Amino acid sequence: MRDRTLWTWHVTAGLVVLILLGLHMAIMHLDHMLQVFNPTGGQAEDWANVVARMKSTFFAVSYVLLLGAALYHGLYGLRNILLEMSTDAGLRRIVRVGLWLVGLGLFGYGAYAAVLAPRVAAGVGG
């Protein structure tokens, strides 16, 4: 039952990554068609547009969700690959705990950056 629940979360995280990464790709690479996300006009990478997105709560939340979903999806897949290669209980525990620590560390660092971005943008943008 536990494996089925984890697998369901894995698939759900993959769908979240698909949607949010698709949105990111559309904003960054179809900027000539989706000017709504580039309030100052020009390219998506122009500094004024970057600052405008950094000030948006929507983007901060979507980046944190994308980060969490991508980390879970990727690390759960890596966990399964590594656990298939070993039957030693001690090694399995090290893999599980190690991936948890790596995932939490990366999530904390990335979420901190996404949450801090609007404050930085407020100071930069005036």
- Which of 74, 64, 59, 71 lies closest to 24, judged by CA? 59
CB 75 within 8 A of CB 102: yes
Residue 73 structural domain: 2-125
Q: DSSP letter at 83?
A: H
Higher pLDDT, 39 or 98: 98
Number of domains the chain is built from: 1
Higher pLDDT, 51 or 16: 16
When pLDDT is cut at 50, 70 and 90, the band that residue 53 belongs to is confident
Residue 90: CATH number of its domain: 1.20.1300.10
Give the whole-angstrom CA distance, residue 92 versus residue 77: 14
- What pLDDT, on the 0 to 100 scale, is given for residue 14? 96
Average pLDDT rounded to a whole number, residues 27-40? 74
> From residue 35, how far is each of 40, 48, 79 by CA, in Å?
9, 13, 40
Own/partner pairs for 77-80, CB < 8 Å, 24+ apart? 77/10
Give the whole-angstrom CA distance, residue 52 versus residue 47: 9
When pLDDT is cut at 50, 70 and 90, the band that residue 100 belongs to is very high
> From residue 78, how far is each of 34, 36, 38, 120 by CA, in Å?
35, 37, 36, 34
